Amino acid sequence: MHRSQMTKRERESRSRLKPYISDRGFVRGTLSVRERVCGKANCRCTRGEKHVSLFLIRSKDGTVEQLYIPREKEELARRWVENYRVIQGLLERISSVYWDRLKRKD
């Protein structure tokens, strides 16, 4: 479809979508913070200060996958998950435009 045939809402959504899919990383998943005890006798975690780890979780082909995210990659992982959510929202918005077009009886 030519740009001039698009609604303003669709043009705006596509313009906002373009940088996310062309030059930004994105990943589908949920970040989960886990607290654990390592089991070493003299470790601080035995006194209640548990170790904190971040995991990225997704379902794929009916199974759940978990990926440990090292501390130095936490910010990157958070940004990529958020980018995916923005992309998903923009795609839903564009999809609604086409849904409405198909629904019209003219």
Per-residue pLDDT of the chain (106 residues; tens, 9 = 90+): 666 678 888 888 888 898 888 888 999 999 999 998 887 888 988 888 899 999 999 999 999 999 999 999 999 999 999 999 999 999 999 999 889 888 987 5
| pLDDT recorded at residue 1 | 60
| pLDDT recorded at residue 9 | 84
Sorted by where each begins, the domain ranges of the chain are 3-103
- Please, are residues 4 and 78 in contact by the beta-carbon 8 Å criterion? no
| pLDDT recorded at residue 78 | 97
| pLDDT recorded at residue 33 | 96
What distance, in Å, lies between the first and last C-alpha atoms of the chain? 18
